[in-house]
Structures are given as structure tokens and as C-alpha cells.
Amino acid sequence: MIIRCPYCGPRDVIEFTYQGDATRRRPDPASSDQDAWNSYIYDRTNPGGSHREFWLHGGGCRQHLVITRDMTTHAISSVAFARSIVAGESS
């Protein structure tokens, strides 16, 4: 599998580390809502088809990426820096 890092260009998947589901949102740090934390930490939907995930380009620019990947074909439809995506969504 090849991932096209927006900085480094196409690289082998071995340079990357899967860092989990990118659709979940961390609860307010001060929140004591156990259900919310529980779902953040443990619940994963594992959908067939398109999915958003974090990958760390640890073997390259060391940036986290948000990758949209088809879980059945491994086809990657979009790659972007996690920082800009997360910052964009929380602002």
C-alpha cells in the first residue's frame, strides 16, 4: 500500500503508523461524563467502505495525517494534515 503524504509524496505504508479512528471527538477534558469517555476510548464502529483514520508519518515528516480509506478495497480517497483538519473542525 502507498500513502501520498501531502509533504513527502507517495511512500510505502511501512513508513506510517495507524493511529486510530479519526471520527471520534475527545470529550471536554474536565468532563466527568463516564459514558462519553467510555465511548471515546472504547467504541469503534469498524465500518465497511469509507472510513476516516489518523496515520502518523513516523518514517518521514512525522506529521499525523487524516486519511479517508475504503476499508474493503484499501483505496485512499483523501489525505490531509491532521493539524489543519482538527483545527478547522474545532474552530
Partner 1 sequence: MTSSRLSKGGRIDRSRSIRFLFDGKAYSGHPGDTLASALLANGITLFGRSFKYHRPRGVFAAGSDEPNALVTVLSGDVREPNVRATELEIFDGLVTRSQNRFPSLEHDFLAVNQLAGPLFSAGFYYKTFMGPAIGPLRGTRFWMFCEKFIRRAAGLGKAGTSPDPERYERMNAFCDILVVGSGPGGLIAAEAAAATGARVIIAEERPLAGGSLLASGEMIDGRNPAVWAREKAEALASLPNVRFLTRTSVWGYYDGNVLTAVEHVSDYKPNRTKGLARQRHWVIRTGRVILATGAFERPMVFPGNDRPGVMLADAMRRYAIEYGVATGSAVTLFTNNDSAYDAARALSIGGVNVVAIVDVRPDISGTCRDIASVAGAELLLGHAVTATHAGKTLSSITVQHFNAETGRVSGAPREIRTDSLGVSGGWSPAIHLASQAGGKPEWDEDLQAFLPPEPNQNWVMTGSAAGYMDTISVMSDAATKGSAKSRLVLPAVEAPMLDSSPAPVFEIEPAIKSQKAFVDFQHDVTADDIRLAYREGFHSVEHLKRYTTLGMATDQGKTSNVPGLAIMADVRGISIPQAGTTRFRPPFTPVSLGALAAERHGDLRPHRLTPMHDWHLANGAKTYEAGLWHRPMIYSSHGETIEQAYTREAKAVRDSVGIVDVSTLGKIDIQGPDAAEFLDRVYTNMFSTLPVGKARYGLMLREDGIAFDDGTTWRLGETQFLMTTTTANAGPVMQHLEYYLDCVWPELRVHLTSVTDVWAGSAVSGPKARAVLEGCVTGTKVDNDTLPFMGIVRGKIADVPVMICRLSFSGELAYEVYCGAGYGVHIWEALLAAGKPFAILPYGLEALGTLRIEKGHVTGAEIDGRTTAHDLHLDWMLSKKKPFIGSAMVHREGLKNENRLSLVGLISLDNQSINGGSHIVTDPRPREPADSFGHVTAACYSPALGKYIALALVKHGTSMIGNRAFATDLLRDKHCAVEIVSHHMFDAEGSRMHG
Partner 2 sequence: MAEPRSPLGKAFVAGDHGNHAAGIGVTLRERKNLSIIQITAWADSIPAVLTAIGSATGLVLQNKPGLGRVAGEKSVFGFAPGRYFVVSATPDLETRLRSAISAELGTMVDLTHGRTVIRIGGPRSEWVISKLFAIDFSEHAFPVAYGRATLHHDIHTNIQRIDDETFDLYVFRTFARSFWLTLGHAAEEVGYRVE
Query: Does residue 73 interact with partner 2 by CB under 8 A?
Result: no
- Residue 81, interface with partner 2 (CB under 8 A)? yes
One of 30, 46, 48, 77 touching partner 1 (CB under 8 A): 30
Among 7, 18, 26, 47, binds partner 1 (CB under 8 A): 26
- The Cα 17–Cα 43 span in angstroms is 20
Q: In angstroms, rounded to a whole number, what is the distance separating the alpha carbons of residues 76 and 3?
A: 8
46 binding partner (options partner 2, partner 1, Zn ion, none; Cβ < 5 to 8 Å by kind): none
The site for partner 2 (CB under 8 A) is made up of 6-9, 11-12, 14-15, 59-63, 81, 83
